[in-house]
């Protein structure tokens, strides 16, 4: 279910991009796509490691919020994987039209 979002957006954005380009030009289309993509910030804010049983809930390594999260190795690998996927996956939408 989680990974299917990329496929659904690929099917939806394929025909949507030419319509946006015709209606708003390339600058307006990119602004609208950026606004749609910016909504993922809220979803990205929910990416936190699960607490280990017998450990107090909170950021790993008892560091405050974002600092502890940015030093958590598994989370960094997970976030980097999504960054690399998004960089490679977004190119067809921009250059396809």
Q: Read off the pLDDT of residues 3-46 as tens digits, 9 standing for 90 and up.
A: 666 677 777 888 888 899 999 999 999 999 899 888 878 877 77
| Secondary structure (3-state) at 4 | helix
Give the whole-angstrom CA distance, residue 88 versus residue 97. Answer: 16
Average pLDDT value for the chain: 76
Give the whole-angstrom CA distance, residue 72 versus residue 76. Answer: 6
Residue 28 corresponds to which tokens in the numbers above? 């307006």
The pTM score is: 0.50
What local confidence, expressed as pLDDT, does residue 27 receive? 94
Which range, 1-5, 52-56, 70-74, is most confident? Answer: 70-74
């Amino acid at each position: 279910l989680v990974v299917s979002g990329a496929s659904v957006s690929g099917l939806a954005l394929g025909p949507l991009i030419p319509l946006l380009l015709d209606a708003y030009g390339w600058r307006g289309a990119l602004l609208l796509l950026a606004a749609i993509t910016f909504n993922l910030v809220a979803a990205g804010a929910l990416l936190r490691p699960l607490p280990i049983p017998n450990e107090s809930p909170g950021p790993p390594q008892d560091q405050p919020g974002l600092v502890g999260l940015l030093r958590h190795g598994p989370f960094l690998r997970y976030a980097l994987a999504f960054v690399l996927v998004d960089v490679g996956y977004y190119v067809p939408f921009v250059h396809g039209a």
